[in-house]
Amino acid sequence: MSDAELATPFRQRAGGAMKDAFLQEALTIATTKFIGLRREAFASFPEGEALRDQARAIKEATLQRLDQHLETLISNVERLGGHVHYAETSAEARSIIVDIAKRTGARLAVKSKSMATEEIHLNEALEAAGVTPVETDLGEYIIQLAHERPSHIIAPAIHKTKGQVAELFTRELKRPAEPDPEALTLIARGELREKFLQADLGISGANFAVAETGTVVLVTNEGNGRMVTSLPRVHVAVMGVEKVVPSFTDLMVFLAILAKSATGQKLSVYTSMVQGPRRAGELEGPDEFHLVLLDGGRIAQIDGPLREALSCLRCGACLNVCPVYRQIGGHAYGYTYPGPIGILLTAMLEGTPAVRDLAHASSLCGACADACPVRIDIPRMLIELRREVDDRKIAPWPERVAFKLLAGLLRRPWLYRLAARAGRIAQKPFTRGGRIGRLPLVFGEWTRTRDLPPVAPRTFQERWATDRDLRA
């Protein structure tokens, strides 16, 4: 999202999304479908629960020796003839990749779907360097043509209708397109097939990297991951440092639960394991293979409050079940990663001030933690983020004052009783049908989107003090 869009407060962005009738319908259909598919997949997979526990343990165990696993990965990638690069920041990652493109004389780059390259805003940098980046995942291709950003981690264009896609193709590709998904897919196949065969540079992310064998693993349904890693003469894979797993045995545990959590498939159509550049005797595969290891704020969280979020597989399951995401969609969050996990990742990558409002974009219902294949306790970290937002005094002042007053009341029973009595009188003009629907002044912020229950005619404390039957 552009800075201009980010300048719009989160509430306004969310409010806009909630007034978009099509978006509302698309979100409901998509997220409901994904929830059902995921549930079915695990219902017929009795070992799933134990594998989720094991997957979580593997992630934690890997973090406990992350330095060693990365060293193993690096030495194996280099042994296989690949090159490894180290990027502390997004800017550094961009310049590494742009340098590779320039040195190899690349003009056209094909990209398979990668949240990491979205995160570092790679496309703009490539364009500035005279390299044309083409997104090849159908959803990503659509939003690239539309100059937008993904609205869902695994279904980036769920916010678009087939009519909108047809209009977009007609306008951008200068060829008439019917609003039929099959026909539109065929057009994209033709356009992108040529790009695959012409491209000099293939850019991908990495779902996993196996340290013991120097293997980069890509999971796709369309086959673009295979194209990008097989056809161009140079392949660059960008991965966050947390994506490493020790061995193939570990990898199988994750593969068994990843697709089930994302789309309800037992496995995605293609799981491609790439081990360095083309070998002797091979017809295809790149001459050069580069792996860019990305920090971007991750390393500081190994010993930080968001450590657990480093276990995320980017499956999107927590988005689908989140009552907030289901209402506002991905764009309203304003950053690369939407949904409950996206708030944590945004805090990790952009810093806590970036999530001042987003930290509250959760009902803390816990559905995300239940859906997460590696059982990340997202609500706990959201609460911690809220506390940090408060401690660092980046919350708006009326909110801070209101909660400070409330804290004072809760600590002094006599004051609390007094306030209850005063409240019973003061609330009279605002109570309608047993609810307080609107309050004046800064308190109006609270009642703008929710009702407040009035103080009871007799509070529990008052009843406890007098009613014998209550104590019996």
How far is the first Cα of the chain from the last one, in angstroms, to the nearest whole number? 60
Site for other proteins in 298-357 (CB under 8 A): 299-300, 302-303, 307-308
Listed residue (83, 66, 117, 121) closest to 300, CA to CA: 66
**Is position 236 an interface residue for other proteins (rule: CB under 8 A)?**
no
Whether 290 and 100 have beta carbons less than 8 Å apart is answered as: yes
Q: Please answer whether residues 149 and 118 qualify as being in contact, where contact means their C-beta atoms are separated by less than 8 angstroms.
A: yes
Nearer residue to other proteins within complex by CB, 245 or 324: 245
Span from 120-128, 293-301, 411-419, 436-444 in contact with other proteins (CB under 8 A): 293-301
Structural contact between residues 315 and 255, judged by C-beta atoms closer than 8 angstroms: no
Task: Give the Cα separation of 325 and 52 in Å (integer).
Answer: 24
Q: How far is the CB of 281 from other proteins (least distance, A)?
A: 4
What DSSP letter does each residue of 314-366 carry, written as one string? ---HHHHH-HHHHHHTTGGG-SSS-HHHHHHHHHHHH-GGGGTTGGGS----S
Region for 223 from its dihedrals, namely left if φ exceeds 0, alpha if ψ lies in -120 to 50, beta otherwise: left
Binding residue for other proteins (CB under 8 A) from 133, 202, 232, 285?
Answer: 285
23, 27, 41, 58: which one binds other proteins (CB under 8 A): 58
Binders of other proteins among residues 80 to 139 (CB under 8 A) are 80, 84, 86-88, 92, 136-139
Please identify which residue in 14, 73, 274, 343 interacts with other proteins, judged by CB under 8 A.
274
* Of the residues 14, 17, 23, 26, which one makes contact with other proteins according to CB under 8 A: 26
292 or 322: CB nearest other proteins: 292
Q: Least CB distance from residue 26 to other proteins, whole Å?
A: 8
> And the tokens for 58?
């593997």
57 in contact with other proteins (CB under 8 A): yes
Contact 110, 229 (CB under 8 A): no
Nearer to other proteins, 308 or 350 (CB): 308
| Interacting residues of 36 by C-beta distance below 8 A, sequence separation 6+ | 264
Q: Which stretch binds other proteins (CB under 8 A): 11-19, 116-124, 158-166, 394-402?
A: 158-166
Q: How far is the CB of 82 from other proteins (least distance, A)?
A: 9
Residues 306 and 344: beta-carbon distance below 8 Å: yes
Nearer to other proteins, 308 or 357 (CB): 308
Rule CB under 8 A: is residue 185 a binding residue for other proteins? Answer: yes
φ/ψ of 221, rounded to 5, equals -105, -25
Using CB under 8 A, pick the residue from 117, 230, 336, 352 that binds other proteins: 230
**245 binds other proteins per the rule CB under 8 A:** yes
106 near 130, Cβ under 8 Å? no
Q: Which of 23, 27, 70, 317 binds other proteins (CB under 8 A)?
A: 70
Copy the structure tokens of residue 437. Answer: 């629907």
Q: How far is the CB of 192 from other proteins (least distance, A)?
A: 7
Judged by CB under 8 A, the stretch of 2-10, 250-258, 354-362, 383-391 that binds other proteins is 250-258
Phi/psi for 163 (5° steps) reads -65, -45
Q: Binders of other proteins among 355-374, rule CB under 8 A?
A: none
**Is 43 one of the binding residues for other proteins (CB under 8 A)?**
no
Taking CB under 8 A as the binding criterion, the range among 118-126, 262-270, 424-432, 438-446 that sits at the site for other proteins is 262-270
As a whole number of angstroms, the distance between CA 361 and CA 7 comes to 17
Does the protein bind other proteins through residue 247 (CB under 8 A)?
A: yes
Instruction: Decide if residue 416 touches other proteins (CB under 8 A).
Output: no
Shortest spacing between CB 334 and other proteins, in angstroms: 23
Considering only the stretches 60-68, 316-324, 406-414, 422-430, report the one whose residues sit in contact with other proteins under the rule CB under 8 A. Answer: 60-68
Distance (Å) of CA 301 to CA 186, 246, 315, 342: 44, 20, 21, 15
